Amino acid sequence: MEQAELLDRKKQHTARLSIFSNTILVLLKLIVGFSVGAVSLISEAMHSSVDLLASLIAFWAVKKSVAPPDEEHDYGHGKYENLSAAVEAVLIVGAALGIVYEAMKKFHEKTVPDGLEYGILIMVLSIGINFLVSRRLVAVGKETQSQALEADGLHLQSDIWTSVGVLAGLALMQVTGWAWIDPIIAIFVAGIIFRAGGHMVHESVMALTDESLPESEEEKIGRIIRSCPEVRGYHCLRTRRSGSYNLLDVHVLFDGRMHLAQVHAICDEIDQKIRAEFGTFDVMIHPEPDEHHQAETKVTEYEKAREPAKEIPEDSL
């Protein structure tokens, strides 16, 4: 079995794990929350429902993104992963705002519900499960370069802080009988979640708008190109990311007297070296003779594309 297929299966299995764990936690929190009558637990269950929805979105995105290119998507479906990460980021921000809203209403509550020890037990279990599952999601997401899985894992990691806040609130309420402790902690945790969600929104927007790969990675690609002794230089290196799929195009300079077959073989060698270093990569190399070329950059090529087409004089036709 090819390495790419193994990674795709690993991504899907990990996404299923997130769905299973979130489903169990939502059901347990709802059952205990309604049984005990603790609004904080019911709110936490609704928050976990957002996690479940995010996991379903991530699973759908992972399955969709590994679909091969078709007539309508020449570069494959990797952007579905970036799109799902953006949706999850919005869900995180929405959940943070929802927690603040619920917390503001709880300031007026004076009574502490009975049976809080069951809620405390559920929250400890939730923290442990989310810790293990989130680490797995982030690790597999980085290994497979899946933004959807990594976003889902970061989502669960932010939820651990929510669970810690709810746990602390339940424990303090049980010990002191002070009902106002719960909303104070909830607002503090919501701030942490909101910050994480804002960061994810920024990352998703940059990916969806075809942000270039980090400068350090582009420099590494440049070193790989220059490592071939026949290469006399390169210019107009452009990169972008589509889900876990990287794409680049570059103009590489050769001796104009070289045979086309030799130039093609060197381009294939550069392609293989880049794939060996970075994994899945769509490489497009435009060979040029060193003697007759005009140096270009990402910006100059963009400006040339915006220039109006020159009309051909009628007398030249």
Does residue 243 register a pLDDT over 70? no
Does residue 156 register a pLDDT over 90? no
Residue 253: the pLDDT is 92
42 in Cβ contact with 16 (< 8 Å): no
Domains and CATH numbers, the chain: 3-208 (1.20.1510.10), 215-308 (3.30.70.1350)
Which two three-digit tokens encode residue 173?
A: 């309420």
Instruction: With cut-offs at 50, 70 and 90, classify the pLDDT of residue 291.
Output: confident
Q: How far apart are CA 106 and CA 113, in angstroms?
A: 13
Which is it for strands 245-254 and 233-242: parallel, antiparallel or unpaired?
antiparallel
Q: How far apart are CA 165 and CA 41, in angstroms?
A: 11
151 in Cβ contact with 58 (< 8 Å): yes
Hey, which of 57-66, 128-137, 193-202, 288-297 has the most confident mean pLDDT?
Answer: 128-137
Hey, which of 36-50, 100-114, 165-179 has the most confident mean pLDDT?
Answer: 165-179
CA-wise closest residue to 197 among 99, 81, 95 = 95
Q: How far apart are CA 307 and CA 57, in angstroms?
A: 41
Instruction: With cut-offs at 50, 70 and 90, classify the pLDDT of residue 298.
Output: low
Residue 233: which H helix or E strand, with range?
A: strand 233-242
111: CB partners within 8 A, 6+ apart = 179
Does residue 24 register a pLDDT over 50? yes
203 versus 217: the higher-pLDDT residue is: 217
